[in-house]
Structure 1
Amino acid sequence: MRLMPLLFGLSMLFAGSGVAAADRIAGQPFATRSVVYAPKAMAATSHPLATQIALDVIREGGSAMDAAIAANAALGLMEPTGNGIGGDLFAIVWDPKTSRLHGYDGSGRSPQSLTLEWFQQQGHRDIPRAGPLPVSVPGAVDAWFALHERFGKRSMAQNLAPAIGYAREGHPVAQTIAYYWDRSVALHSRWPGFVEQFTLDGRAPREGELWKNPNLAATLEAIANGGRDAFYRGDIARRIDVYMKDNGGFLSYADLAAHHGDWVQPVSVNYRGYDVWELPPSGQGIAALQMLNLLEPYDLTSFGFGSVEHLHLLAETKKLAFADRARWYADPAFHPAPVEKLISTQYAAQRGTLISMDRALREVAPGTPQQLDEGDTIYLTTADANGMMVSLIQSNYRGMGSGMTPHGLGFILQNRGEMFVLKPGHPNAYAPGKRPFHTIIPGFVTKDGKPWLSFGVMGGAMQPQGHVQILVNLIDFGMNLQEAGDAPRLHHDGSAEPTGQNSAMTDGGVIELESGFSYEAVRGLMQKGHTVRFANGPYGGYQAIARDPDTGVYAGASESRKDGQAAGF
């Protein structure tokens, strides 16, 4: 099967003749723009300046990994509402030299001095979403250096130079980022260091307004000159330690000094001839694989995009996968999940018997894979002329993270620890030195052993749902790379969450639909017993790069829900 018609063929824009101007029609059920093509390199990020930085790095002799690190550093400055060096990072990398995928888990662990018993003694039922208590070790900087050591070509000082320059000289704030920044100010202004370093006289910078962060410039320069240890064992770590102690926190110098990320082996399922790759837990990537296995028996193409059958199956498979997500996904060093069984076709066949095409599931408990026989976030992707492709996702967790902003450093610490459960015996229960359940997941697809697609979708629990919808749009509905991201999405919101006290869903949840789906589909879902509501979000944000296996030509896409850009040369 040739892949050109699927990803690289543009759909017919105009019917008939006599069109006065060759403009793209926008007044359709969903508006989209053209796929971007380039012969040598491609970058797709959630900010146009970061995309241009990535391409400049490749033009100057850097690899796709150098470009990804440079873009990520810039996004920490330009999009602090979603990421920064106070957060964690995950990546999947296609290495053309070995023709294989590599995965990196750059997530940090909880403070050693904080215990589950302390939370219980203080009367906490859940970990707060902001302030000192949800802060875990930031893993992004370590991940940069580990990935660079294996796949980089330029020095880290060269890779960080563009972000340092923009931090000192300023950049105009983009529209979507300005909106979320403004919402974050009221939430985080109470935390020491935030107002001084992330507002202009107490307010968020406005759209198009120049923003500078000299403190972050100095921090990045220290990292560029001193390496990863400048962050985890040097003055930066000591200043974080003092700040946290002064403000009721537990994260310490010792926690930072002990940090290490891990190389992990991506895992996959085959969906209609395409091998879809995700990272194993503590992230939620295998939820996408479980959903794809459950969808495999159904002829989605004949149902059609936006049909009641299509949307019903997305919701039902999500319910089943997320019940397992709430029960099984956790730090494998503490509670190894039965990954091979969870993503097996045998388990999917067992769980798939619960799906009815006539009625929505109301109560969903996790499965028992052991009983089988043995057998807000940023996403970016880059690709270079040698065929290296990088799928990278990085986050503070909720928007601007915990709000904890160490004095003089120019970044905010993440609040990823909020994802722990304060329930003894739960796989994701809080423990010292443990990684929390993670939502951020990079995606990758190969076909016949060759790289086909590097992609991701931002947005918490939307991410595995988004991965599945993108792939179904491409593979089942024949959309091109840009259409697949711009098409309206479904988000199922259920009660089976890894942060809750119960891993079973008991109320059926709610289907949230983006504008663009028909009333007939909505009515059909309601007749099947679904609760449906229209919502402006959350539907994530998507970037992707595809590679033509015959010509090596890259296609890039960046959806309109973000401020991003796909570009190449």
Structure 2
Amino acid sequence: MAFGKVAVAPHAAVASEQPLATLAGYDVLRAGGNAFDAAVATSFSLAVTFHPAGGLGGDFFAMAYEAKAGKIHCLNSSGWSPSGLTLDLVRAKGGGQVPQFGPLTCSIPAFVAGVHEMHRKLGRSEFKGLLSAPTDYALKGFPAGEGICRSVAGAYLELSPQARAVFAPSGSPPTPGEWIRQEELGKVLSSVAERGPDGFYSGPAADAIRSILESLGVPTDASDFTEFEPEWVSPLTLDYRGTKVYEHPPNSMGATSLLILKLLSESEMPASGALSSRRIELTMEAALAAYGRRDEMLGDPRSGEIDMAGFMAGRASSEIPGSRIRSGDTTAFSVADAEGNIVSGIQSLFNHFGSRVFVPECGVMLNNRGSGFRTSGPNAVAPRKRALNTLSSVILEKDATPFLSIGTSGGDWRPMQHALFVTNAVDYSMSADANVVHPRFLWGGGRSLIVEEGYELPEAGKFDINPQPHPGRTGVCQAIEVRARFRKAVCDVRGDGVPAGF
């Protein structure tokens, strides 16, 4: 049996995938900052200490509950494609299709603008001070955790010599505890601390990123950086058996989670339990339908109208869609303070080390979010368009009171992961710690069904079962359960995270 990593505290708590990032947020809370301030310190610290998963070259999304207003805000800071990225260019340089890695997959980095915008709207501490810890982690260095070591090992042969010099300073993939310094990144963070987003989007960092993309054949304009803005959007909601689920709208694929849950709500979850084969069968029928409609109907709403009512009208299906299912190397975190404010945040380069395009002048690895584009349909490549994005984070609410903030790595798995977390909480009354550690099953694309040990397996025939140990590599989740008298912060045993509270 696996036991979760849990911190129960009366006032405030942080849960992140990296102990130093948790500590940075914790210190802000102890100093009187609110959850949104602590989220800034936590998020930027993750961008340094878990750079391959969620660095400055990627995206940032957040679901943020503002207690005094009684309102959940939804932030989308996903980068748009460069102004010179056309379908003809992708076809010519990508062999007729969108590649998974390389310069054609780089979107304009949106992370810095997104985290700053959250603070501008909801924070109260001075922004500059919140970047003190992450800047120190970059300039002075930090001991590598297992997560960053796995990421470096997985991409080592594809990294440039300059990237290897930073992330594998000994000349081979690092081992846990090996010291990693990112001096150029630290200089960028110092500039952002002083100038805000202008320190990134109007300075040497943006110039260096634009220069390297131009040199690699992707026309990029300075205005692609200076004109980018994050977006506050209305969250999608679904009443699932009396619990209100908040998810991100397109260009996020958060709606896919809600369609899975809507279809599940039309059946009773099996009384035989959370590990039954019937649960797998019902969830898979809902998931196959939702993923198929995702591919057909979701994209960037700024580039074309999306029929959300039509999307949510999907029916359960046993047909296996031709969806491309890829796990991502993302990192999620949660923060809750004594005032009742909550942040469910998530950041990513998409795959580990993103596009594998490293910009040595600023120490930033660029994302490969553009690999989510297609050559036709609502998610087709176009200049200054946002690709369909796997990122989303969730808050659950009961009787008009938010009680669970939860997020996970997982890429295309995320809609199914979120559906599992919600049904664990609602149908099986699991606490946050039981929910996070519970065995998972995930669709791997085609006939592949990934199942962590513990489940009663469905009959052979429809799916090829890919058994995994428990806990396996099925995403790394962080959560905080928020109650009147306590906050329970949980970090997944599948990752390096440590929760903290007071």
C-alpha contact 1:525 1:532 (8 A) present in aligned 2: no
Q: 1:232: which partner in 2?
A: 201
Following superposition, the deviation at residue 444 of structure 1 comes to: 0.8
- In the alignment, residue 145 of structure 2 is paired with which amino acid? A
| Alignment equivalent of 1:250, drawn from 219, 224, 232 | 219
Q: 1:511: which partner in 2?
A: 449
Cα 1:512–1:459 change in 2 (3 A) is same
Matched, 1:262 2:215: no
| Aligned-partner SS, 1:461 | helix
| Aligned-partner SS, 1:240 | helix
Cα 1:127–1:540 change in 2 (3 A) is same
- In the alignment, residue 556 of structure 1 is paired with which amino acid? A
Matched, 1:207 2:173: no
Following the alignment from structure 2 to structure 1, what is the Cα–Cα distance between the partners of residues 299 and 431?
Answer: 35
1:401-445 Cα offsets, whole Å, 9 max, x none, are 11211122122011111110023xx10000011000100111111
Following superposition, the deviation at residue 473 of structure 1 comes to: 1.5
Following superposition, the deviation at residue 75 of structure 1 comes to: 0.8
Deviates more, 1:180-189 or 1:134-143: 180-189
Following superposition, the deviation at residue 488 of structure 1 comes to: 1.0
Following the alignment from structure 1 to structure 2, what is the Cα–Cα distance between the partners of residues 214 and 365?
Answer: 44
Matched, 1:138 2:76: no
C-alpha contact 1:269 1:289 (8 A) present in aligned 2: yes
Unaligned runs of 5+ in 1: 1-27, 355-360, 367-375, 496-508
C-alpha contact 1:35 1:480 (8 A) present in aligned 2: no
Cα 1:210–1:554 change in 2 (3 A) is same
Following superposition, the deviation at residue 335 of structure 1 comes to: 2.3
- In the alignment, residue 389 of structure 2 is paired with which amino acid? H
C-alpha contact 1:312 1:525 (8 A) present in aligned 2: no
Q: 1:318: which partner in 2?
A: 287
Q: 1:373: which partner in 2?
A: none
| Aligned-partner SS, 2:286 | helix
Matched, 1:486 2:421: no
- In the alignment, residue 452 of structure 1 is paired with which amino acid? F
Q: 2:326: which partner in 1?
A: none
- In the alignment, residue 392 of structure 1 is paired with which amino acid? G
Q: 1:151: which partner in 2?
A: 122
Matched, 1:567 2:483: no
Matched, 1:329 2:298: yes
Following the alignment from structure 1 to structure 2, what is the Cα–Cα distance between the partners of residues 525 and 411?
Answer: 48
| Aligned-partner SS, 1:144 | helix
Following the alignment from structure 1 to structure 2, what is the Cα–Cα distance between the partners of residues 380 and 555?
Answer: 13
| Aligned-partner SS, 2:238 | strand
Following superposition, the deviation at residue 123 of structure 1 comes to: 5.9
1:3-39 Cα offsets, whole Å, 9 max, x none, are xxxxxxxxxxxxxxxxxxxxxxxxx3xx223642111
Following the alignment from structure 2 to structure 1, what is the Cα–Cα distance between the partners of residues 380 and 288?
Answer: 22
Matched, 1:430 2:381: yes
Following the alignment from structure 2 to structure 1, what is the Cα–Cα distance between the partners of residues 459 and 367?
Answer: 38
- In the alignment, residue 473 of structure 1 is paired with which amino acid? N
Following the alignment from structure 2 to structure 1, what is the Cα–Cα distance between the partners of residues 428 and 131?
Answer: 41
- In the alignment, residue 459 of structure 2 is paired with which amino acid? L
Give the 5 Å matches for 1:377-416.
Answer: 377-416=330-369
- In the alignment, residue 563 of structure 1 is paired with which amino acid? D
Between the two proteins, the alignment pairs up a number of residues equal to 495
| Aligned-partner SS, 2:212 | helix
Following the alignment from structure 2 to structure 1, what is the Cα–Cα distance between the partners of residues 197 and 298?
Answer: 29
| Aligned-partner SS, 2:414 | helix
Following the alignment from structure 1 to structure 2, what is the Cα–Cα distance between the partners of residues 323 and 395?
Answer: 24
Following the alignment from structure 1 to structure 2, what is the Cα–Cα distance between the partners of residues 277 and 123?
Answer: 37
1:524-566 Cα offsets, whole Å, 9 max, x none, are 3325x33222246651111111111xx2421111110010012
1:312-356 Cα offsets, whole Å, 9 max, x none, are 11211110110111111100011222224433xxx25xx14x4xx
Please say which structure displays the higher CA radius of gyration.
1
Unaligned runs of 5+ in 2: 324-328
Q: 2:488: which partner in 1?
A: 555
Q: 1:7: which partner in 2?
A: none
C-alpha contact 2:82 2:221 (8 A) present in aligned 1: yes
Following the alignment from structure 2 to structure 1, what is the Cα–Cα distance between the partners of residues 4 and 93?
Answer: 53
Following the alignment from structure 1 to structure 2, what is the Cα–Cα distance between the partners of residues 204 and 256?
Answer: 33
Following superposition, the deviation at residue 125 of structure 1 comes to: 2.8
Cα 1:160–1:293 change in 2 (3 A) is same
C-alpha contact 1:400 1:414 (8 A) present in aligned 2: yes
| Alignment equivalent of 2:397, drawn from 446, 455, 461 | 446
Q: 1:501: which partner in 2?
A: none
Following superposition, the deviation at residue 301 of structure 1 comes to: 4.8
Following the alignment from structure 2 to structure 1, what is the Cα–Cα distance between the partners of residues 320 and 411?
Answer: 23
Following the alignment from structure 1 to structure 2, what is the Cα–Cα distance between the partners of residues 245 and 365?
Answer: 34
Give the 5 Å matches for 1:496-535.
Answer: 509-517=447-455, 521-522=456-457, 524-526=458-460, 529-535=462-468
C-alpha contact 2:166 2:180 (8 A) present in aligned 1: no
C-alpha contact 2:54 2:348 (8 A) present in aligned 1: yes
C-alpha contact 2:256 2:294 (8 A) present in aligned 1: yes
Following the alignment from structure 1 to structure 2, what is the Cα–Cα distance between the partners of residues 462 and 546?
Answer: 23
Q: 1:285: which partner in 2?
A: 254
Following the alignment from structure 1 to structure 2, what is the Cα–Cα distance between the partners of residues 225 and 141?
Answer: 13
Following superposition, the deviation at residue 121 of structure 1 comes to: 3.4
CA RMSD of aligned residues (A): 1.8
Q: 1:125: which partner in 2?
A: 96
Following superposition, the deviation at residue 250 of structure 1 comes to: 3.1
- In the alignment, residue 152 of structure 2 is paired with which amino acid? W
Matched, 1:294 2:229: no
1:452-471 Cα offsets, whole Å, 9 max, x none, are 11111211011111111112
Q: 2:407: which partner in 1?
A: 456
Following superposition, the deviation at residue 45 of structure 1 comes to: 0.3
| Alignment equivalent of 2:55, drawn from 84, 109, 120 | 84
Cα 1:123–1:166 change in 2 (3 A) is closer
C-alpha contact 1:95 1:101 (8 A) present in aligned 2: yes
Following superposition, the deviation at residue 362 of structure 1 comes to: 3.5
Q: 1:372: which partner in 2?
A: none
Cα 1:180–1:407 change in 2 (3 A) is closer
Following superposition, the deviation at residue 282 of structure 1 comes to: 0.5
- In the alignment, residue 55 of structure 2 is paired with which amino acid? G
C-alpha contact 1:95 1:389 (8 A) present in aligned 2: yes
Following the alignment from structure 1 to structure 2, what is the Cα–Cα distance between the partners of residues 204 and 250?
Answer: 33
Following superposition, the deviation at residue 202 of structure 1 comes to: 3.3
- In the alignment, residue 372 of structure 2 is paired with which amino acid? M
Give the 5 Å matches for 1:166-205.
Answer: 166-189=137-160, 193-205=162-174
TM-score by length of structure 2 reads: 0.95
| Aligned-partner SS, 2:420 | helix
Following superposition, the deviation at residue 363 of structure 1 comes to: 4.4
Deviates more, 1:429-438 or 1:472-481: 472-481
Following the alignment from structure 1 to structure 2, what is the Cα–Cα distance between the partners of residues 257 and 89?
Answer: 17
Cα 1:123–1:269 change in 2 (3 A) is closer
